[in-house]
Structure 1
Amino acid sequence: MLVLSVAATAVHAEDVLGRIREKKTITIAYRDAAFPFSFLDQDKKPVGYSIDLCLKLADAIKQQLKLPQLAIAYVPATSDNRMDLIQNGKADLECGATTNTAERRKSVAFTIPHFVAGERMLVKTDSNIKNWPDLRNKKVAVTKGTTNLKPLEGRGQVRALNLKVVDGRDHNDSFHILETGGADAFATDDVLLYGLKATAKNPSAYAVVGDPLTTEPYAIMLSKTDPAFKKFVDGEMSRIIHDYEINKLYDKWFLKPIPAKDNFTLNMPMSYLFRDSLRFPTDQVGN
């Protein structure tokens, strides 16, 4: 199997479908703590909204390649290494909660967004923190490798409020920093904060607050050097959206009890922004 370097992409395109056909295996990069998009269930198996979408894509690839069987291999991803896994050919699809941004599109590609989030913060209920100005001279946990720090800096709030940023290794670590008093708030995408709050030992001890700082279109990440593979994935994502299969998956993970999380229910209706985006599916986003 040939794995192309980034420098070689100007001359040669990667053949992801060919690699999958040869190995009769598709490799999915997953996150272990991005509930409800991608996380580990009680049996340590990757599950979630994004995982279900990727399994639908895998089934379409199996049919396209006319394979009697297609194995699913999972590789764990972090905020730091998820792009490298795609660029180095160690994963065919990254199925987590990754925002499609212009900066990231210099290195990888994204298919049509399957969720739209906004950056807010998680705080302790008794902290009296309600919005960003309440963070003056306080510490804020931000997960390393995410897009959540830049909006704070872009609005000038870090300097104006004299904030101190504390890096978390992953979302669980950032929450632990907040939980143990190492930070006064944890800033990241609102849906991830609702998931962390819901699965905390004492959910009522935490609150998601703050005006949204950003619009975060989550999308499945794939190789930038194989336009044919991207075209196929985009086509299948469009079909999933137009056939309302994505609505059924949304209901399963955001509105109904989740067996993998002790039948917890997020009770998060689809936002107007996301619902509107599904009317005209496109991978073209403004970030």
Structure 2
Amino acid sequence: MRIQNIALVVSALAAACILPSHAQTGSTLDKVKASGAITVAYRESSIPFSYLGADAKPTGFGWEICGKIVDEVKAVTGRADLKVGTQSVTSQNRIPLMVNGTIDIECGSTTNNTDRAKQVAFAINYFYTGTRLLVKANSPVKTIDDLKGKKVVSTTGTTNYQVLRKVNADRNLGFDLLAAKDHAESALLVQNGRADAFGMDDILLYGLRASAQKPEDWAVVGEAIQVEPYAIMLRRDDPEFKKLVDGVITRLVKSGEFETLYKKWFQSPIPPRGINLNAPMSQDLRDNLTALSDKPAG
């Protein structure tokens, strides 16, 4: 599987360890207007939401939406000269980097849930997914119950890791749950035979499969466990910025542009290899295009 496995930069690691007393305070828009800069966070392998393209630059569904949000920030703050910085984040460090002010907005595949809402805020939900399994196409693992006595990997800092730990205990499956630093490393453990399955949000698994050198060598299997919403992540206690972000998403939905973007990234050939994920919009997402809710998972 030809998936980039880029080491975390030292600065990001250091920022993740900063104590809560250094947390960013005040309005994001005031900060941006005063500094003339905004930092947008991206993921390196969360296809098709936010990932590195063939040119090693961020791209994807969430990334494109965040670009439209940045355009609105420029207009509202009057900073046509706004400097847009980018910051790679992982499942493990994305929340600390938001809390301490290193990043201003995160455009990836972050689940909106009540536990995370104690530390950060979320915009209107823009995707719904459930935990499933990435395995080799010839694997005997077809369902969650087939994991008994196997080795399963998931990515550190994700809700999926917690979901798998719970289902392991609830069903008494006794599988060995491994933790990897990012999605690319998780997939690599399966490729190298060090794990039998990679448990993650199904749409991300389809993205990883599509980006593989031989997609036919991989399969996404098992029933979906615990359907959850994705949303763009923001700092807490900043209603002005959340209103702006929600307003951009609302306009995209009502104008039909959101559905156009969905078809572009989920139902059309996408970079880097022009493979179509063929992932139709779920009923949960269609319902939220009407409700425009930011309701978290439990």
**Pair 1:282-2:289 in alignment:** no
CA separation in 2, counterparts of 1:127 and 1:180?
13
Q: Which runs of 4+ in 1 moved over 4 A?
A: 5-9, 156-159
**Cα contact 1:48–1:253 (8 A) shared by 2:** yes
**Equivalenced residues, count:** 281
Percent identity of equivalent pairs: 41
How many Å apart are 1:279 and its aligned residue? 1.0
- Contact 1:158–1:164, Cα closer than 8 Å, also in 2: no
For residues 130-167 of structure 1, what are the alpha-carbon distances to aligned partners after superposition, in whole Å with 9 as ceiling and x for unaligned?
A: 10111110010111111112223334547611110111
Where does residue 196 of structure 1 map in the other structure?
208
Task: Show the counterpart of 2:132.
Answer: 120
Give the AA of the match of 1:149.
Y
Aligned counterpart, 2:84: 72
Contact 1:254–1:265 (CA under 8 A) maintained in structure 2:
yes
Q: Which residue of 1 aligns with 2:34?
A: 22
Query: Aligned runs of 1:100-179 on 2, under 5 Å?
Result: 100-157=112-169, 160-179=172-191
User: 1:267/1:216 Cα in 2 relative to 1: closer, same or farther (>3 Å)?
Assistant: same
**Quick one: distance in 1 between partners of 2:297 and 2:56?**
36
In 2, Cα distance between equivalents of 1:207 and 1:229: 40
Give the CA deviation at 1:77.
0.4
Paired residue type of 1:243: S
Closer/same/farther in 2, CA of residues 8 and 79 from structure 1, 3 Å limit: closer
Counterpart of 1:212 in structure 2 is 224
Question: Could you list the runs of 5+ residues in structure 1 that have no partner in the other structure?
Answer: none
What is the correspondence of 1:13-52 to structure 2 with a 5 Å cutoff? 14-52=26-64
1:257 matched to 2:273? The reply is no
CA distance, structure 1, for counterparts of residue 20 and residue 32 of structure 2: 20
**TM superposition shift of 1:7:** 5.6
Residue 15 of structure 2: aligned partner? none
What SS class does the counterpart of residue 285 from structure 2 fall into? helix
1:56 and 2:60 are equivalent in the alignment: no
Letter in 1 for 2:273: D
Distance in 2 (alpha carbons) for counterparts of 1:118 and 1:137? 23
TM-score when normalising by structure 1: 0.93
